[in-house]
Amino acid sequence: MWSVTRPLLQECTLACYRLLSAMTQAVPPILSITPSRALVDEKFQVLVENLPPGCPVTLHSLHHSEDKDDWEAYGHYVSDHRGVVSVTEDLSFGGTYTGKEPMGLLWSMRPVPGSREGLRLRKINVCTPMLVNISVHSGHEDFRDRTPLASALAERWYMAPGVKRIDINKQGVQGTLFIPPGPGPFPTLLDMWGGGVGLLEYRSALLASRGYVSFSLDYLRSEHLSADVEFKYFETAFNIIRNHPQVIPDRVGILGISLGSTVAFNLTAYSTIIKPRCIVCISSNHYHPPGTTLKAGFKILSKHFHKAHFDENNYMSWRSFGLDLIADPSNNVEVGRINCPMLLVNGCDDQNWPTVETAEEVARLLREGGKEHLLSRLAYPGAGHLIEPPFSPHFRATKFIILNSKKKVILLWGGHTKAHSDAQEDSWRKSLSFLQLHLYHSPSVKAKL
The pLDDT, as a whole number, for residue 14 is: 57
Tell me how crowded residue 245 is: count the other CB atoms within 10 A of its CB.
Answer: 6
419: CB partners within 8 A, 6+ apart: 349, 380, 381, 382, 383
Tell me, yes or no, if 258 is annotated catalytic: yes
- Which tens digit of pLDDT belongs to each residue from 221-263? 766 678 998 999 999 999 999 999 999 999 999 999 999 999 9
Location of each CATH 2.60.40.2240 domain in the chain? 30-157
Tell me, yes or no, if 385 is annotated catalytic: yes
The CATH architecture assigned to 164-440 reads 3-Layer(aba) Sandwich (3.40)
The pLDDT, as a whole number, for residue 27 is: 84
The pLDDT, as a whole number, for residue 74 is: 98
User: Mean pLDDT over residues 421-438, rounded?
Assistant: 98
Catalytic pick among 284, 350, 421, 431? 350
User: Mean pLDDT over residues 286-298, rounded?
Assistant: 90
Distances (CA, A) of 214 to 80, 163, 168, 176, 252: 46, 11, 12, 8, 9
The pLDDT of residue 21 is above 90: no
The pLDDT, as a whole number, for residue 172 is: 92
Tell me how crowded residue 418 is: count the other CB atoms within 10 A of its CB.
Answer: 17
* Confidence category of residue 288, pLDDT binned at 50, 70, 90: very high
Q: Which strand ranges, in their side-by-side order, compose the sheet holding 85-86?
A: 30-34, 45-49, 85-86
Catalytic pick among 79, 209, 216, 258? 258
What kind and span of H or E run contains 300? helix 294-302
- How far does CA 104 lie from the centroid of its chain? 15
- Which tens digit of pLDDT belongs to each residue from 303-361? 898 899 999 999 999 999 999 999 999 999 999 999 999 999 999 999 999 999 999 99
The pLDDT, as a whole number, for residue 449 is: 43
Catalytic pick among 286, 385, 394, 420? 385
CATH 3.40.50.300 fits 30-157, yes or no: no
User: Mean pLDDT over residues 95-117, rounded?
Assistant: 97
The pLDDT of residue 448 is above 90: no
- How far does CA 87 lie from the centroid of its chain? 23
For the question of whether the overall pTM of this predicted structure is more than 0.85, the answer is yes
The per-residue pLDDT of the chain, averaged, comes to: 92
Q: Is there a contact between 420 and 140 (Cβ–Cβ < 8 Å)?
A: no
User: Mean pLDDT over residues 266-282, rounded?
Assistant: 96
Location of each CATH 3.40.50.1820 domain in the chain? 164-440
The pLDDT of residue 15 is above 60: no
422: CB partners within 8 A, 6+ apart: 380, 383
**Burial code of 123-153, b = ≥16 C-beta within 10 A, e = fewer?**
beebeebbebebbbbbbbeebeeeebbbebe
The pLDDT, as a whole number, for residue 140 is: 95
The percent of residues in the chain predicted with pLDDT above 70, rounded, is 91
The pLDDT of residue 48 is above 60: yes
The pLDDT, as a whole number, for residue 337 is: 96
* Confidence category of residue 8, pLDDT binned at 50, 70, 90: low
Q: Is there a contact between 252 and 189 (Cβ–Cβ < 8 Å)?
A: yes
In three-state secondary structure terms, 185 is coil
- Which tens digit of pLDDT belongs to each residue from 161-199? 999 999 999 999 999 999 999 999 999 999 999 987 679
- Which tens digit of pLDDT belongs to each residue from 353-381? 999 999 999 999 999 999 999 999 999 99
The pLDDT of residue 1 is above 80: no
- Amino acid in position 397: A
